[in-house]
């Protein structure tokens, strides 16, 4: 069989600028293990769509009604032979039907040290603001399996960074983002090697 057919096919779900999606695309560009085969997005005009287009990666634009009331596009993802789902700034809660269709094959990254600073409304600068308001000395990233609650599934990996006294949500966000970019692609690869 042609090598390409044996490759694992990753779908990256993202609704924002897509900087993590880009890092993951780059990481697997010449890999013999996997490729980013699909970008899934719920926001027309999101930055990640431009990235997908310039990389010639197909985009699946999801509609709310079908995502939450249908079978969350599980059929479509299976039809596209997706093996693994990586959430990178996807803000909709993943329905149970999709989790059941991809057991232990959906991961998310969160820009803080869960279980603190997670849950509904804890995204983007809100997270870093809360960390600063609580005068935390450190923050970081959490990569976890996805279950039917926000930011709740089993934690796979965490990395830490310092919170500096003069940090703003923006400066802290930058430090945390650097950790995301350093660790997420490599961690996805590690997980793919074991599925
Ligand atoms: C990241 O901070 C990630 O932790 C969170 O959403 C953000 C996505 O950023 N889940 P980007 O679109 O990859 O730049």
- Ligand 1 and 151: CB distance under 6 A: no
pLDDT, tens only, 144-186: 999 988 888 999 999 999 999 999 999 999 999 999 999 999 9
User: What is the C-alpha separation between 28 and 95, in angstroms, rounded?
Assistant: 27
Q: Among 23, 27, 89, 183, which residue has the most ligand 1 atoms within 8 Å of its CB, making it the best to mutate? A: 89
pLDDT, tens only, 67-81: 999 899 999 999 999
- Ligand 1 and 14: CB distance under 6 A: yes
**Full residue range of the structural domain in which residue 102 is found:** 2-194
Q: For ligand 1, atom 5, which residue shows the shortest CA distance?
A: 89
Q: Which atom of ligand 1 is nearest to the CA of 176?
A: 2
Q: Would you give the DSSP letter of residue 183? A: H
The number of distinct structural domains making up the chain is: 1
Question: What is the domain-level CATH number for residue 165?
Answer: 3.40.50.170
β partners of residue 107: 86, 145
């Amino acid at each position: 069989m042609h090598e390409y057919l044996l490759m694992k096919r990753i779908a990256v779900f993202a609704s924002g600028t897509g900087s993590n999606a880009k890092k993951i695309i780059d990481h697997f560009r010449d890999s013999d293990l996997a490729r980013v085969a699909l970008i899934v997005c719920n926001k027309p005009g999101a930055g990640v769509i431009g990235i997908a287009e310039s990389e010639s990666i197909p985009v699946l634009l999801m509609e709310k009604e079908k995502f939450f009331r249908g079978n969350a596009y599980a059929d479509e993802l299976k039809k596209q032979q997706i093996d693994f789902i990586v959430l990178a700034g996807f803000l909709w809660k993943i329905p149970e039907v999709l989790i059941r269709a991809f057991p232990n094959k959906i991961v998310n990254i969160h820009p803080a040290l869960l279980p603190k600073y997670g849950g509904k409304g804890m995204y983007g600068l809100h997270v870093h603001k809360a960390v600063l308001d609580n005068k935390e000395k450190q923050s970081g990233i959490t990569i976890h399996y996805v279950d039917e609650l926000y930011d709740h599934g089993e934690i796979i990996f965490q990395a830490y960074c310092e919170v500096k006294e003069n940090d703003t949500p923006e400066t802290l966000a930058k430090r945390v983002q650097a950790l995301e970019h350093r660790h997420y692609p490599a961690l996805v690869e590690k997980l793919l090697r074991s599925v």
